[in-house]
Structure 1
């Protein structure tokens, strides 16, 4: 029941898209003006985890993951020392494991079959994942049948009924 789109004065938009841009601008500005000291890193991490938690509770797991990747990229490019980065990533990984474990024990239906089906890409040819990985497998077939040089622009056979939305989700397989 997540509501990800807002309509204000006839303009419809996704607030999380704005959050992505603002997250980059805020964290980059803080690192630029305040440096990469430990206190600044703690503030940035707190801000990052709060932002991710709010989006996660919406629930918009995909955008929360993207925000996490944006945060990691900002830390990697900020000039923070390697040993500090390793400690931060170990701490963050432990926190993620702890939160996932708590969610699993106190809200087990959170990990529904539909959500777990999104990890079908890890083994798309497993018989248990055939429905969840249908489009991914056909994308692999399209890329594989093209060989090294491809079949030519728009010459993909898989687009003819095998890929449900070839013009959007798997445009690379068509090209």
Structure 2
């Protein structure tokens, strides 16, 4: 349902801009449908059909991780060699393959989930006081390396998502609850203090950076409308125009050149304008229902690896949804994170579909295992 809604909404949000620029209005809608088909048949089905042992195999896990790191490293090299000419919206985050712009970060998210699931499963029962740091040192270093490569692009939203994946998976891996809560408290306090220092100090060496301008535009969107706040201001206008029931599919005004990225980062704003607050709530509700369904599979899983992977995939979808919805409503800085399954994008669609295929694989295996146990009993 989310994918079908996404194709329709991408078509609606992009058609006017494409028509004005001399392209066929259905171009992005058709591409999104093709991405969805390719993702389903070539990634969703294989990730569901492969034996679950494949994803627990050390060679598969390490090769998947190394390939992800290699692609991220390639982006860093490209940034150094080509400089700002390789940047889009201030960041270098895509590898042009001709038929698709591959975003290595999307692949890295899934590879990190599978890697941490594998490593933490091996350390099950060992995360007791006195041994926690020893057992978590290696996965923590690998996560830090991956985050370091992403932040150099620079992609703060992507870095935060990787951090949240690691934080959640570490927290549910068996470490003492009190220690996990202390970590969370320390992290949130540190982020809050850093945020306060930056906005109070307002350092000159950061003022020209694209990311800092986005932060200031988040804090003062109307005052800085001509210097980066236009996206958020027009997002507010779109949501206000839509009211409860919307102006009708295809009738948005903000998508006609006022709101940048209407079919990617801000597709929820156009949804709210055309389908109203009720339509937007339905889309968000479907996302949260999907997350809850994946969480249920993880909660009832008998295998530590299965549970961890489900929690990691839920974290990907939740964090992406949180950052996107928060940015659209002006509750969080704009990070360029898209809305899962709905926003335009091939890399995101492919990886998220692979995630769902893997979750269905885990669910099927858990059911088979339970049926076998019931038969024996």
Range into which the TM-score falls when normalised by the shorter chain: 0.7 to 0.9
SS in 1 for 2:257: coil
SS in 2 for 1:137: helix
Matched, 1:41 2:136: yes
Residue in 1 aligned with 2:264? 168
- Contact (CA 8 Å) 1:154, 1:174: kept in 2 or not? no
Structure 1 distance, partners of 2:232, 2:245, is 21
- Contact (CA 8 Å) 1:155, 1:174: kept in 2 or not? no
SS in 1 for 2:227: coil
TM superposition score normalised by structure 2 = 0.37
Call closer, same or farther: CA 1:59–1:156 in 2, change over 3 Å.
closer
Higher mean C-alpha displacement, 55-64 vs 130-139: 55-64
Matched, 1:17 2:17: no
Structure 2 distance, partners of 1:139, 1:81, is 42
Structure 2 distance, partners of 1:47, 1:97, is 26
Higher mean C-alpha displacement, 59-68 vs 138-147: 59-68
The CA deviation at 1:129 is 5.3
Structure scoring higher RCO (CA < 8 A, sep ≥ 6) equals 2
Call closer, same or farther: CA 1:144–1:80 in 2, change over 3 Å.
farther
Call closer, same or farther: CA 1:146–1:63 in 2, change over 3 Å.
same
The CA deviation at 1:87 is 3.1
Structure 2 distance, partners of 1:86, 1:151, is 45
SS in 2 for 1:161: coil
Higher mean C-alpha displacement, 48-57 vs 26-35: 48-57
Structure 2 distance, partners of 1:16, 1:45, is 18
- Aligned runs of 1:51-66 on 2, under 5 Å? 51-66=146-161
The CA deviation at 1:22 is 1.0
Matched, 1:124 2:213: no
Structure 1 gap ranges (5+): 102-107
The CA deviation at 1:65 is 2.3
Structure 1 distance, partners of 2:97, 2:264, is 27
Residue in 2 aligned with 1:87? 182
Larger Rg belongs to: 2
Structure 2 distance, partners of 1:171, 1:23, is 27
Call closer, same or farther: CA 1:80–1:55 in 2, change over 3 Å.
same
Q: Deviations over 1:41-92 (max 9, x none)?
A: 3333232222212322344333222211222232344343332113334269
Call closer, same or farther: CA 1:84–1:148 in 2, change over 3 Å.
same
The CA deviation at 1:115 is 1.9
Q: Which runs of 4+ in 1 moved over 4 A?
A: 7-12, 91-98
Structure 2 gap ranges (5+): 1-82, 198-203, 272-377
Residue in 1 aligned with 2:243? 147
Structure 1 distance, partners of 2:139, 2:193, is 21
CA RMSD of aligned residues (A): 3.5
Q: Deviations over 1:76-127 (max 9, x none)?
A: 44343332113334269659979xx9xxxxxx735634221121223323x1
Structure 1 distance, partners of 2:248, 2:137, is 51
Call closer, same or farther: CA 1:25–1:110 in 2, change over 3 Å.
farther
